[in-house]
Amino acid sequence: MDDYYDIAELQEEELRPRDPAIDDAIERLQAFFEASPQRLFYSTQIETSLEREFFHWIVGKALLELGNTRRVTRVSEVIAGQPVNFYANRKHRYIRRQLRTMVDVLRRVFEPEFTHAIGRHGELMFDHAFIL
């Protein structure tokens, strides 16, 4: 029974070994940001772009690590009550200008009326596909 409490006191990192895919994702992300030094991306956008190569949670962990170590610029914004992380190459000089534009677009996309309309349209298309 004493072993149980010893295990519970270990840090989470000690319980789970580091996934080597995170290191591969970090290398890929560094190339990704080097290829687009003047662009700002949000986390889901990057995770989706690399989903054929890595699971989204691997890319997410790699992005957080790159942001925490300041190898890329990370800016957090709250959109529709949820925090969204934006990332850019450290060489990007005009992040705030792009950030304002992206936040405005995401706020419009996440509005309940808009998402409801998109959902209804998708349902209509799906229903029509099975009528033919």
Q: How far apart are the first and last CA of the chain?
A: 64
What digits encode the pLDDT tens for the residues 45-72? 999 999 999 999 999 999 999 999 999 9
What digits encode the pLDDT tens for the residues 91-127? 998 899 999 999 999 999 989 999 899 999 999 999 8
- Locate tokens 């800016």: which residue? 75
CATH of domain 2-131: 1.10.10
Helix/strand/coil (H, E, C) string of 25-88?
HHHHHHHHHHHCCCCEEEHHHHHHHCCCCCCHHHHHHHHHHHHHCCCCEEEEEEECCEEEEEEE
